[in-house]
Amino acid sequence: MAEPIAVKGLGKDYGTFTALGALDLSIPAGTCFGYLGPNGAGKSTTIKILTNLIRPTRGQATLFGVDVQREPTKALRKVGTVIETPEFYGYLSPLEVLAYAGKLRGMSKTALAARSESVLKTVKLTGWADKRVETFSKGMKQRLAVGQALLHEPDLLILDEPTSGLDPRGMAEVRDIVKSLKREGRTIFMSSHLLGEVTEVCDAAALIDHGKLLLQGTLDELAKRADATAFQAAFLAPLNADELAWITGLPGVKSAADSGNGVIEIRLAGGPEVQASVISSIVRSGLQLTAFRPVGTALEQLYLEQIQETSK
Amino acid sequence: MMAGEDLRQAVIVAAYEVRKYLRSRRLLGMLILLALIIGLILGLPPALGSSYPSTPNAFVGTFAGFASLLAVLCGVLFAADALCSEHEKRTGYFLFPNPVRRETIVVGKLMASLAASWTILLLYYGVASVAALAVTQSLSVDVGLSAAYALAYVSCVVGVAFLLSSVLKGTIAATVLTFFLFTLIFTIVGALLFVGKVDPWFIPTDAAGIISNILSAPGQGPPGLRAFVPDPGISLAVFAGYFVIGSIVATVMFRRRELKT
């Protein structure tokens, strides 16, 4: 069976500006794939090409082996999408919005009624089912967007910043929905600049910046590629220069910087073994360590390193 | 050619467009305007102490004089923002990723615009005919022809409105331009052509003269002055041309247009 998403040499220019270089990407079935990058990196451009909203300048994008540009209706049949925060026709209610999408997709009346009820429950809009969308907040529209994407039980979900505009509770709920879809074996392609979100829900990720793919792999593979991992070490009393220099000289320590108030930021090169060794050395030295906690995740470290490199 | 699936989807798009007209009160607005025009035409003569025209053609002729304006307003309200609003209001992010061709969306919206516009004009002519029958006790085939010409003219307006809607970015620009094109720009161009001794048969507003002319007695122009009298056959061909070309260009442009906002 063809891969849910396969992209080859995909690029998009706007005049002399290259929004997307020549992207090669393939997403295996059943993967929850995070598509990372800062604003303007080319994430939305990729997603808009995949969903036939814009045309590529070069290359090819296929969904389940079907060329999106040549046969868009066939390519998008098994796909559910949330692109940015879509607007809905204000004069319709969520039930009518779902009915519109469902009818266009050829869903039967019975299936439509059952699925509408189910997805409205999932996105917690049951109480608003008959209210006009024009009265909805951005977060409610985002929930509806997620709901309409799930309506036809798609095999592939393409989500562009799906938690954008949601409050923390709404964000957590959308993440839970994505996790449950993942458990059902659906393929999810999700763009985000929230690294914690990607770490929480995705199996694999790609990092893009300035229209170029920088990295791609499973989250474990990417974490191993992180050059260093940052930790905060808190002490009962502030360290003097000699003590700081001693920590800097410990095996596996790339750098140590005083953050004030007895807190230093230590960057380590290596995995958990190095962490254990450094902690053990500090404790044995007699320095009164009160806390040792990671600053961000390995993915964050990698992200920042890569983005800094492309910004140079 | 549209396949069965495309036609089914076009009907769905059309049904939701009609729902838009109903819920946004555009249809209601047009019906209120219709009632005002009809009320004035029927109410003013007795109020001013004058009598109604005695022949059905002359009676409906008063109504026909406003049919062109109604057609333009129908085009403005039911067609001008049909395509550009999907981009400007970002509803395209919901609609376009569905497995539906852009051509199908245009056809569906076109069907809705024509259905709403024709309904308004048929209602207008229907009331005029019933009133004519009540006042003059008779009706003529010319009344039906005038109505048919009005329907052809409104189709022409809708075609041009769709074209503008497909190329312009904003709904306000599309709406204003459609209105002024048919109430001012075409009229000025037609007048200038006529002054330059070129018959403006290809200008829709001049060609629309057939809507009233069919109900007027021939040779009623001022004696000694050159007057342009549009030919019904040519005018209908002009309306068809504007509608077909407008619709085709609108479809091509809508298909090519990217959703970048």
pLDDT single digits (tens) B42-101: 999 999 999 999 999 999 999 999 999 999 999 999 999 999 999 999 999 999 999 999
Can you list the alpha helix ranges (DSSP code H) found in chain B? 4-23, 26-48, 56-78, 84-88, 92-95, 102-136, 141-167, 171-180, 186-195, 204-207, 210-213, 232-256
Distance CA A67, CA A70 (A): 5
The helix/strand/coil state of B191 is: helix
Q: Average model confidence (pLDDT) for chain A?
A: 90
> pLDDT digit string (tens) for A103-140?
999 999 999 999 999 999 999 999 999 999 999 988 89
Nearest Cα of chain B lies from the Cα of A92 at a distance, in angstroms, of 8
Query: Is the pLDDT assigned to residue A204 strictly greater than 90?
Result: yes
Q: Are A312 and A238 in contact (CB under 8 A)?
A: no
pTM of the predicted model over 0.90:
no
Considering only A63-67, A300-304, B13-17, B198-202, which range has the smallest mean pLDDT? A300-304
Which residues on B lie below 8 Å from A48 (Cβ)? Answer: 258-260
Nearest Cα of chain A lies from the Cα of B1 at a distance, in angstroms, of 16
Distance CA B117, CA B111 (A): 10
> pLDDT digit string (tens) for B103-136?
999 999 999 999 999 999 999 999 999 999 999 9
Which of A103, A138, A146 would best serve as a mutation to test chain B binding (most B beta carbons within 10 A)? A103
Q: What is the band of B2 on the pLDDT scale with cuts at 50, 70, 90?
A: low
A106/B5 touch (CB, cutoff 8 Å), yes or no? yes
Q: Are A100 and A87 in contact (CB under 8 A)?
A: no
Report the percentage of chain A scoring pLDDT > 70: 97
Considering only A14-18, A120-124, A279-283, B222-226, which range has the smallest mean pLDDT? B222-226
The helix/strand/coil state of A265 is: strand
Output DSSP code: residue B183: I
The token duo for A273 is: 């073994």
A53/B97 touch (CB, cutoff 8 Å), yes or no? yes
Which of A17, A55, A68, A91 would best serve as a mutation to test chain B binding (most B beta carbons within 10 A)? A91
The closest of B133, B153, B135, B158 to B143, measured between CA atoms, is: B133
Nearest Cα of chain B lies from the Cα of A18 at a distance, in angstroms, of 15
A to B CB pairs, distance under 8 Å: 74
B239 Cβ contact list (under 8 Å, min separation 6): B152, B153, B155, B156, B204, B207
A86/B23 touch (CB, cutoff 8 Å), yes or no? no
- Pick B19's closest partner by Cβ from A51, A83, A91: A91
ipTM reported for the complex, 2 dp: 0.91
A232 Cβ contact list (under 8 Å, min separation 6): A259, A263, A264, A265, A266, A291, A292, A293, A294, A295
Query: Is the pLDDT assigned to residue A221 strictly greater than 90?
Result: no
